[in-house]
Amino acid sequence: MAVFEYRGIQITSGKPVKGYRDADNAKSLRAVLRKDGVLLTQANEEAERGSKGGRKLDLFAFMKRPSTADVAVMTRQLATLVRAGVPLVESVAALTEQVEKEQLKRTLTSVRETLNEGTAFAKSLEAHPTIFPPLYVNMVAAGEASGTLEAVLERLADFMEGQARLKGKVTAALAYPVLMMFIGIVMVGVLMVAVVPKVTSIFDNLGHALPWYTRLLIVVSNVVAGYWWLIIAVTVGTVVGFRRWRATPAGRLKWDSFRLVVPIFGRLQLLVSVARFARTLSTLLSSGVQLLQAMEIGRHVLENSRLEAVISEAIGSIRGGESIAEPLKRARVFPPMVTHMIAVGEKTGQLEAMLENVSRAYEADVETRVVALTSLLEPLMIVLLGGVVGFIAMAILMPLIQMNELVQ
């Protein structure tokens, strides 16, 4: 069954309408819409096809993809409708007309049609993993089984909004230093290629030795101006080679292990991953998902193969009868506070609350560290850029000053 984007006219009022509906083909779509009082005028198939199917590559698909914040807003609205007593199918139908992202609209249309066919809500969502990840699907399944779907949806909305907020703060804090670095590289490159060679050409007939820093500047400028294409090719080749190496299991494990021990940034990476894992696990356990299944789902949100390996080993140890805290403590990767609070939560029967406390504490720590790091990086970038430009200016001006002194 395909998803069609359709346009039509209401038979009773003559008003134009448009939307998305599932149908086997255009003929079936026409019949379904006629029953709803709509005369079909145009239908475009929007179903995903394989590489042989003929869908054109959309270079801007990543811009049209719904973000975590979009799904969080939709989830909260769905929770409100379900809590108000609106049937699930009607709630999804109402959201289909309300959301703005086309991909999300098509997905909700497909979910609504499968719900009408009698499929469980979680199973309907499972068919769209790019929008509804396993965490989302498993929590919805637990909510359906326990009869607390609206509460689970609200927890999901809170969780996704918190993750989007944390990611947004980190991204916004690092955006300025990255922009400054890019502008600095471009500016220095332009100086080396277009400005420095013309200015230093007057030193050819100067008649006396140039300072070492001027000679260094001339050499660097000649290399950049004469072999810029080679520098770009080597840079691109290095990046491509690194990405391919990192894509291998061994390469990813080594790189992720290195990321955790890098001064300053390694600790920040660890705190972000632990905060995300703790909040995910707490949310899943609070929604009724079994511990081992929750840890398996939470393992994938770490986004670090070294930490994922630790959780995998912990899952095996837990199946063997150990507690959660012991295998995490043996790995010596997770901070001691995490393993201690998990151990306390296991003993007191308040594991979800302890994990929630861990996530809140570490998210606050991440925000504090990011603010401090940003306040340090900004002046550091300015000083570094000013130092490079100052070196270029000194290397050019000092020989001119010496030439003027000789003339006098």
Model pLDDT for residues 283-340, shown as the tens digit of each residue: 888 878 888 888 888 887 788 889 989 999 999 988 888 888 888 888 888 888 888 9
Q: Does pLDDT of 354 surpass 70? A: yes
Instruction: Phi first, then psi: give them for residue 48, nearest 5 degrees.
Output: -70, 140
How sure is the predictor about 233, in pLDDT bands with cuts at 50, 70 and 90? very high
pLDDT score recorded for residue 43: 72
Q: Rounded to the nearest 10 degrees, how much is the dihedral formed by the CA atoms of 23, 27, 30, 33?
A: -30
Q: Rounded to the nearest 10 degrees, how much is the dihedral formed by the CA atoms of 244, 264, 258, 165?
A: -50
Q: How far apart are CA 151 and CA 376, in angstroms?
A: 42
Q: Does pLDDT of 62 surpass 50? A: no
Q: Which tens digit of pLDDT belongs to each residue from 165-222?
A: 777 777 777 777 778 888 888 888 887 877 777 777 777 666 667 788 888 888 888 8
Percent of the chain at pLDDT exceeding 90: 6
pTM of the model: 0.65
- Of 371, 311, 304, 354, nearest to 170 (Cα)? 371
Q: How far apart are CA 355 and CA 40, in angstroms?
A: 53
Helical spans, DSSP H, in 65-101? 68-83, 88-98
pLDDT score recorded for residue 255: 92
Q: How far apart are CA 110 and CA 23, in angstroms?
A: 10
**CB neighbours (10 Å) of residue 57?**
6
- Of 167, 113, 159, 96, nearest to 133 (Cα)? 159
Q: How far apart are CA 327 and CA 286, in angstroms?
A: 23
- Over residues 143-151, the mean pLDDT reads 80
Contact 23, 1 (CB under 8 A): yes
Q: Does pLDDT of 57 surpass 50? A: no
Q: How far apart are CA 317 and CA 312, in angstroms?
A: 9
Q: What is the CATH number of domain 66-162?
A: 1.20.81.30
Q: Does pLDDT of 358 surpass 50? A: yes
In the three-class reduction of DSSP (H, G, I as helix; E, B as strand; rest coil), residue 2 is classed as strand
- Over residues 252-264, the mean pLDDT reads 89
pLDDT score recorded for residue 244: 94
The answer to whether the Cα torsion of 267, 272, 276, 279 is positive or negative is positive
Residue 236: in which H helix or E strand, if any? helix 228-247
Q: Does pLDDT of 27 surpass 50? A: yes
- Over residues 39-60, the mean pLDDT reads 52
Per-position DSSP letters for 184-231, written without gaps between them: HHHHHHHIIIIIHHHHHGGGTT--SPPPHHHHHHHHHHHHHHHSHHHH
Both structure tokens of 301: 């949100």
- Of 334, 276, 331, 269, nearest to 300 (Cα)? 276
Contact 176, 148 (CB under 8 A): no
Helical spans, DSSP H, in 262-335? 265-286, 291-299, 305-319, 325-331
Q: How far apart are CA 21 and CA 98, in angstroms?
A: 15
pLDDT score recorded for residue 393: 84
Q: How far apart are CA 48 and CA 55, in angstroms?
A: 7
Lowest mean pLDDT among 12-16, 94-98, 107-111: 12-16
**CB neighbours (10 Å) of residue 179?**
11
- Over residues 394-403, the mean pLDDT reads 78
pLDDT score recorded for residue 161: 84
pLDDT score recorded for residue 240: 95
Average pLDDT, the chain: 81
Instruction: Phi first, then psi: give them for residue 44, nearest 5 degrees.
Output: -125, 125
Place of tokens 């990011």: 370
Lowest mean pLDDT among 54-63, 68-77, 102-111, 302-311: 54-63
Residue 232: in which H helix or E strand, if any? helix 228-247
Q: How far apart are CA 48 and CA 70, in angstroms?
A: 21
SS3 of 141-191: HHHHHHCCHHHHHHHHHHHHHHHHHHHHHHHHHHHHHHHHHHHHHHHHHHH
pLDDT score recorded for residue 254: 93
Q: Of 2.160.10.10, 1.10.287.4070, 1.20.81.30, 3.40.50.970, which CATH number belongs to 165-408?
A: 1.20.81.30
- Over residues 345-349, the mean pLDDT reads 88
- Over residues 238-247, the mean pLDDT reads 93
Q: Does pLDDT of 408 surpass 70? A: no
Question: Which CA distances in Å does 293 have to 67, 139, 278, 288, 297?
Answer: 25, 11, 14, 11, 6
Give the residues across from 20 on adjacent strands: 5
